[in-house]
Amino acid sequence: MKIKIEFIEEIKKRKYFLIFLVGLIEQFLYTLYLLSVTHYLILISSFLMFLFMILYLWLIDKIAKDKDSLKMIIIYALACSIGNYIAMILKIIK
């Protein structure tokens, strides 16, 4: 019984880490998308929007199906703010 509980807890930790990682990457790409639109980089902005939408819709699907969605939403929001910060500070698109 104890092993089963530990296994479930390990899966939850991995799930939260995955949501955080995907949220960070998704927001990083979205920020780059906004910057590329501002600079009228048509192909780059189209490609970034494609990647962004795949990740965004995947996240919505995972969060909507989960019973612990509030914690996942908070983790996702934190990851988005960090992804935005990283994209802006790196100044990849000038």
Residue 80 CA to residue 25 CA, distance in Å, equals 8
The identity of residue 21, as a single letter, is L
The pLDDT score that the predictor gives to residue 63 is 81
- pTM of whole model > 0.85? no
Domain boundaries, the chain: 37-94
Q: How far is CA 54 from CA 26, 29, 87, in A?
A: 9, 11, 19
Q: What is the pLDDT of residues 3-44, one digit of tens each?
A: 666 766 777 778 889 889 999 999 999 999 999 999 999 999
